[in-house]
Structure 1
Amino acid sequence: MSGIENTIIARLERNGEHFEVLVDPQKGFDYKTGARRDFSNVLAFEEVFKDAKKGERATAKALEKAFGTGDPVAAGKIILEKGELQLTTEQKRKAIVDKRARVIALVARVAVDPRTKAPHPAQRIENAMEQAKVHIDAMKTAEEQVEGVIEQLREILPISTENLKMEIIIPAQYAGRAYGALKEYGMSGEEWRGDGSFRCVCSFPAGMQGEFYDKLNKMTAGSVQTKTL
């Protein structure tokens, strides 16, 4: 089959049958990971196979039984969404590198060293991940994996994911500007006071404390009042 060398395979087992489709490597990866919503032109061939490398096509009857449709494009969409996508070596390497970096950043953002109440440095997190032999899944988002990674890191690092709860008072001249930013930090108990100042309570992961203070101090010229609850 011409052009097969420029494709990757998505495969799915259903009702005891094996189904495969050939997809464009980049478009298929983007669609599978949610970066692309449009399914048009994702399939390299509008065919569903029992064995793509051998060119053995699945019958319309088999598609109808497994997917409720004999349309190969509709069936192919289900195969890509629900099945396993065979990435190229370079795609897999890049995805793992990118997601590992994102996981490290997320761990530093949502977790702290309970001894110091400060985030662990990125290099320390990376070293601990190596020591714990953390596996990064190329097909899952970093956000989907970070909780499991933190659990593995507990065997290596003292680590806490507790939330901070803080009372915030913003002077009147900065209240409007700061309001939108505070919504990103679990804002509740909002109160506009008689002098025009704004009071609220924010709840967020302890690892974000430094980022939180930096942002508020910049927006209020250091005049924000905070109190840990």
Structure 2
Amino acid sequence: MISLDEAVTARLESHGERFEVLVDPDAALAIKRGEFDGELEDVIAAEDVFEDASSGDRPPETALEEVFGTTDPLEIIPEVITRGEIQITADQRREMQEQKRRRLINIIARNGINPQQNDTPHPPERIERALEEAGFTVDPMEPAQSQVDDALEALRPVIPIRFEEMTIAVQLPAEYAGSGQAKVREFGDLEREEWQSDGSWVGVVTFPAGMQNDFYELANEVSSGEADTRVVKDKGDLDTR
């Protein structure tokens, strides 16, 4: 369960009765869209249905039976969310908006590159300033991922940016290959790998282009700076330099 401070109220009015439940805001939106695949008990603040959540008053069981055909809160809660309205305070709205803004900036920073500067990543701070300059407003009631296209459209007149994946071949010397390759393969999608006759390991990894600096840092970290890397245009090419 979540704390009351984290929860918003979902409210349904039907048959002259009011039904309220307390739920995580993002989970409530996912349930309303039919996209929730988690455990309901993990995203609610109370396994209960209220007439007035602020006072703790509960509706009569006869009303629950009439409207929902059951008195089981875990069956009723999704119905209230799906059929009702999500109530948020001004403070909750501001907090949700800030959380979505941070997620959006992170998504763009991880995937976006600057095509005018050798496809280098844009730092999150630059993306944040550009969004402000563009006057882009984050919708607190929409997932950050679904706002990416609109944000990019707003950003392009302000900064050169495009989304792209990149593929890098990395070779780890034999003394670092055993433990190092396990961390490298987890960084992105491992396209190919080969163990060389000298005990070194070569892998080709694809990941969002905005994460290339993080990849180079990882490769250096697991090899004490002795890794060889090269950007791969053809994923069938395993040679490094």
Same fold by TM-score greater than 0.5:
yes
Q: Tell me, yes or no, if the aligned pair for 1:170 and 1:198 is still in contact at 8 Å.
A: yes
* TM-score normalized by the length of structure 2: 0.70
Alignment partner of 1:219 is 2:222: yes
Q: 1:171 to 1:8 in 2, by over 3 A?
A: closer
Q: 1:227 to 1:132 in 2, by over 3 A?
A: same
RMSD value, Cα: 3.6
**Match runs of 1:151-162 below 5 Å:** 151-162=153-164
- In structure 1, distance between residues paired with 2:178 and 2:224: 14
- For structure 2, the 5+ residue unaligned runs are 1-6, 30-35, 53-57, 233-241
Alignment partner of 1:170 is 2:172: yes
**Match runs of 1:67-82 below 5 Å:** 69-71=69-71, 73=73, 74-80=75-81
- Which digits, 9 at most, give the CA deviation of each residue in 1:151-199, with x for residues without a partner? 4322432101111111111111111222222222211212122221111
Q: Which amino acid aligns with 1:21?
A: F
Matched with 1:203 is: 206
Q: Which of 16, 20, 23 is the matching residue for 2:21? A: 23
- In structure 2, distance between residues paired with 1:147 and 1:174: 41
Q: Tell me, yes or no, if the aligned pair for 2:101 and 2:138 is still in contact at 8 Å.
A: yes
Alignment partner of 1:188 is 2:188: no
1:97 CA drift (Å): 1.5
Alignment partner of 1:97 is 2:98: yes
- In structure 2, distance between residues paired with 1:82 and 1:157: 42
Structure 1 residues 147-156 or 85-94, which shifts more?
Answer: 147-156
Q: Which amino acid aligns with 2:161?
A: I
1:86 CA drift (Å): 1.4
Alignment partner of 1:128 is 2:126: no
1:41 CA drift (Å): 6.6
- Which digits, 9 at most, give the CA deviation of each residue in 1:112-152, with x for residues without a partner? 11111222233331222123332323244434433442243
- For structure 1, the 5+ residue unaligned runs are 1-6, 50-54, 64-68
Aligned residues: percent identity? Answer: 30
Q: Tell me, yes or no, if the aligned pair for 1:48 and 1:76 is still in contact at 8 Å.
A: no
Q: Which amino acid aligns with 1:106?
A: I
Q: 1:179 to 1:83 in 2, by over 3 A?
A: farther
- In structure 1, distance between residues paired with 2:95 and 2:43: 25
Matched with 2:33 is: none
Q: Tell me, yes or no, if the aligned pair for 2:20 and 2:80 is still in contact at 8 Å.
A: no
How many residues are matched? 210
Q: Which amino acid aligns with 1:164?
A: M
**Match runs of 1:110-125 below 5 Å:** 110-116=111-117, 117-125=119-127
Q: 1:45 to 1:163 in 2, by over 3 A?
A: closer
Structure 1 residues 136-145 or 164-173, which shifts more?
Answer: 136-145
Alignment partner of 1:32 is 2:55: no
SS in structure 2 of the partner of residue 169 of structure 1:
strand
